[in-house]
Chains A and B, each alone.
Chain A
Amino acid sequence: APALADGFGLGREALPEEVAAWDVAVRPDGTGLPEGSGDVWTGEEVFTDYCAACHGDFAEGVDNWPQLAGGRNTLTDDRPVKTVGSYWPYLSTVWDYVNRSMPFGAAQTLSADEVYAITAYILYSNDIVGDDFVLSHENFLDVEMPNADGFIVDDRPETEYPLFSTEPCMENCKESVEITMRASILDVTPDEGNEDAAQDEAQDEAAAAPAADET
């Protein structure tokens, strides 16, 4: 490879089959999508087989497992519900992530058509498409995600850094200070490890103490 002459001459050229095997990323403009299609009802079947045990029959989530549907218009609530429908900006991410990393524990086992079908079912579960919808590589970009405009690029350099970059107060900074919240009230810190460790220490001390006392 001519490019190597200029470098260290390390590595070897990647073969097209190798790049194809590992480079499966799909981008917001659809780059990377393979040919294929899947409809909502097929998606429901596949979802039931591979996904519903954790994500629920309707993508509503089981126990603490992620909820994939619902939560529309909750992003300003005290407890926002961030799902594919309420939060995710791009459908490409759904396809890409399901294809690459799901089902949890058996990733990369779905065919392209299955991923299209599951994606169609997740869209349906979020009321973004009707039950007769067929998703394919050709109509993929036609789907409008509800929160597509919900993101801004990091604006801390404008909104925070100037405010926080002034010489700080050193003396008489406040009139008074009150405790407004205590972790002990929630009492959610795991303490088993702590207590065991404390116990070990205590027992070491206790074991040592009689010997010392005897003298």
Chain B
Amino acid sequence: MSDTFKGKGASRRAFLRGSVAAVAGAAAAGSARAATPDPLITEVQDWASGFGAPVDDAPYGLPIRFESDVVRRNVPWLTADTISSINFTPIHALDGTITPQGCAFERHHSGAIELKKEDYRLMINGLVDTPLVFTYEDLERFPRENHVYFCECAANSGMEWAGAQLNGAQFTHGMIHNMEYSGIPLRTLLEEAGLGAAGDLSDKWVYVEGADASSNGRSIPMEKALDDVLVAFKANGEALRMEHGYPVRLVVPGWEGNMWLKWLRRIEVMDGPVEAREETSKYTDLLADGVARKWTWVMDAKSIITAPSPQMPINHGPGALVITGLAWSGHGRITRVDVSKDGGKTWETARLARESETKALTRFYLDTEWDGSEMLLQSRAIDETGYVQPTKAQLREIRGLNSIYHNNAIQTWHVDSNGEAENVEVS
């Protein structure tokens, strides 16, 4: 077999085809019985005899080297530079719902800044009774909450508006992560400053901005600010990563990732929106008639089959197959995910790994059997409001091709008889 893998030319495809052939051969023998004893069992292996690594080997460990392909990737042609740019979570290779922070996607507008807790300040000003400055230590003394939420970039799948472009769930759907956050309700901080000066809160806004050069300022209506927005300092149990806003970020459940201000430094209570660059020039959605939607905050129900997918071909041949993926909705819980193997002609309802949490990633499985024939795999999410994830054709009919953001269309993977998958569009 080693002949197959000589040099740089050996492709993943050739390797995978080899595996399929081998498995198919075994199946053709018509028996689950091995022809010869497996030396991995019959011979004593080094790891069963010698030492493994000592406990002082890695005070903070990284994944085992065999998982080196489970990393963030960027697509150089997408942006002018790598400072105001994006990379992608390897969702194709993950399972469950919690995104490991080390490979959770990044989106910066002036790079990931290093801001230590001692230097951190948070200001609340504007229409408040007392404008306040908090240190990081102050924030740790407020009552805390824990919640799991997805953060999806408004531009996730944005390159796919015009057609099937990028070949892999990581690239088409990987501007997303899902973490357990510990933090303070924004409401608590606003109340600490006092909202009496704001008067009637129903038409008030908060403007939030980061400590980085881009500032990324965004306007949020007071109703949302007082609802479920968190000022978070821990994610998945530990401090935020530098690239995710260390030491403090905003968590805006269900809403587009741009509003999840990182390195949060200022919150201003206002009687109107700022209409900042990130809510006028960017994060506005151009429609076919030349008018653009603004304030498209919520991320609608969406799903993606993560395996099989272009980066996760079927390499075990026909037989038992797990089709799995993620579903989420900014409107609440996912109640159902349907999967089609024939491009949407027929659908089967998948199994949710566990009850969906609100505005969080939900894992689904379809435990099925593959007969080795071609498939056109699709998934379709339904959320608790009854909203059903639309097709791209449905979205295009309303929006046209140039809205860039908020593409939550059904994705199709063409799986060929070798088990390889490709990003396609279907009629």
- Give chain A nearest CB distance to B336 CB in angstroms: 9
- Contact between B388 and A193 (Cβ–Cβ < 8 Å)? no
With a cutoff of 8 Å between Cβ atoms, the chain A residues found around residue B298 in the complex are 154, 156
B79 A64 Cβ-Cβ under 8 A: yes
Chain B residue nearest to A187 (CB atoms) is: B167
**Cross-chain contact of B398 among A29, A159, A181 (Cβ < 8 A):** A159
Are A97 and B277 in contact, CB atoms less than 8 angstroms apart? yes
Interface size on B, residues (CB 8 A): 114
* A33-41, A119-127, A128-136, A202-210 - interface stretch: A202-210
For residues 74 through 97 of chain B, which have their beta carbon under 8 Å from a beta carbon of chain A?
74-77, 79-80, 83-84
Which B3-17 residues sit within 8 Å CB-CB of chain A? 4-6, 8, 10-12, 15
Encoded as 1 (CB less than 8 Å from any A CB) or 0, chain B from 139 to 182 comes to 00110000000000000000000011111100100000000000
Choose one: A161, A189, A199; the contact of B387 (CB below 8 Å). A161
A182 touches B424 (CB 8 A): yes
Q: Is B106 an interface residue (CB 8 A)?
A: no
Are A154 and B297 in touch, CB under 8 angstroms? Answer: yes
Q: How far is the CA of A10 from the CA of B281 in the complex (A)?
A: 37
Q: Are A183 and B344 in touch, CB under 8 angstroms?
A: no
Residues of B193-219 at the interface with A, using a CB-CB cut-off of 8 Å, are: 193-194, 196, 207, 209, 213-215, 217
**Can you give 6 A-B contacts (C-beta < 8 A)?**
A18-B123, A18-B133, A65-B80, A150-B291, A164-B387, A202-B10
By the criterion CB–CB under 8 Å, are B213 and A168 in contact? Answer: no
A6–B190 alpha-carbon span in the complex (Å)? 12
Q: At the interface, yes or no: B288 with Cβ under 8 Å from chain A?
A: yes
B288, closest chain A residue (CB): A76
B117 to chain A, nearest CB (A): 15
Dominant secondary structure at the B interface: loop
Residues of A near B61 (CB, < 8 A) are none
Q: Which residues of A contact B390 (CB under 8 A)?
A: 160, 163-164
The answer for the CA separation of A177 and B426 in the assembled complex, in Å, is 6
A contact residues around B300 at 8 Å (CB): 156, 160
Nearest to A191 among chain B residues (CB) is: B167
A172 to B294 alpha-carbon distance, docked (Å): 38
Measured CB to CB, the nearest residue on chain B to A192 is B73
Q: With A1-B130, A177-B376, A195-B12 given, is the CB distance from A8 to B292 under 8 Å?
A: no
Do A13 and B130 touch (CB < 8 A)? Answer: yes
B303 at the interface (CB under 8 A from A): no
| A residues 14-51 touching B (CB-CB < 8 Å) | 14, 18-19, 22-23, 25-29
Please give, as numbers and ranges, the residues of chain B lying within 8 Å of A105 by CB-CB distance. 83, 110, 213
B223 contacts chain A at the CB level, 8 A cutoff: no
Q: Which of B49-57, B237-245, B265-273 contacts A (4 or more CB under 8 A)?
A: B265-273
Do B347 and A27 touch across chains, with their CB atoms under 8 A apart? no
B281/A88 in contact, CB under 8 A: yes
Chain B residues with CB below 8 A from A10, complex form: 134, 138, 141-142, 192
Residues of B within 8 A of A (CB): 1-2, 4-6, 8, 10-12, 15, 39-40, 43, 66, 68-69, 71, 73-77, 79-80, 83-84, 109-110, 123-126, 129-134, 138, 141-142, 163-168, 171, 191-194, 196, 207, 209, 213-215, 217, 265-266, 268, 270, 272-277, 280-281, 284, 286, 288-298, 300, 310-311, 338, 342-347, 376, 380, 382, 385-390, 394, 398, 401-402, 414, 422-427
B207 touches A25 (CB 8 A): yes
Is A139's beta carbon under 8 Å from chain B?
no
Q: With contacts A165-B388, A168-B382, A205-B5 known, what are 8 further pairs, Cβ within 8 A? A: A10-B134, A11-B134, A176-B427, A177-B342, A177-B343, A178-B427, A188-B77, A202-B4
Which of B71, B388, B427 contacts A180 (CB under 8 A)? B427
Given A154-B297, A188-B77, A8 contacting B141 (CB threshold 8 A): yes
* Chain B positions within 8 Å of A188 at CB level: 75, 77, 165-166
List A contacts of B83 (CB < 8 A): 104-105
Question: Within A54-108, which residues are at the interface with B (CB < 8 Å)?
Answer: 63-66, 75-76, 78-80, 82, 84, 87-90, 92-93, 96-97, 100-101, 104-105, 107-108
Q: Is the CB of B12 within 8 A of A179?
A: no
Q: Which of chain A's residues 134-176 have a Cβ closer than 8 Å to chain B?
A: 150-156, 159-161, 163-174, 176
By beta carbon, the residue of chain B nearest A165 is B386
CB-based nearest A residue for B211: A22
> Cβ of A197 < 8 Å from any Cβ of B?
yes
Q: Which residue of A lies closest to B346 (CB)?
A: A171
Across the interface, which residues of A come within 8 angstroms of B385, CB to CB?
161, 165
Q: Is the C-beta of A53 less than 8 angstroms from some C-beta in chain B?
A: no
For A76, list chain B residues within 8 Å (CB): 288-290
Determine if B296 and A154 form an interchain contact, defined as CB atoms under 8 angstroms apart: yes
A189 touching B168, Cβ below 8 Å: yes
Q: Which residues of A contact B268 (CB under 8 A)?
A: 23, 25
Contact between B346 and A172 (Cβ–Cβ < 8 Å)? yes
Q: Taking the nearest CB of chain A, how far is it from the CB of B79, in angstroms?
A: 7
Contact of A151 among B75, B194, B277, B293 (CB under 8 A): B293
The answer to whether B293 touches A150 (Cβ under 8 A) is no
CA distance A205 to B164 in the complex (A): 33
Find out whether the CB atom of A151 lies under 8 angstroms from the CB atom of B425: no
Chain A contacts of B376 at CB under 8 A?
Answer: 177, 179
- Nearest A residue to B135 via CB reads A11
A82 touches B281 (CB 8 A): yes
Tell me whether A215 is interfacial, beta carbon within 8 Å.
Answer: yes
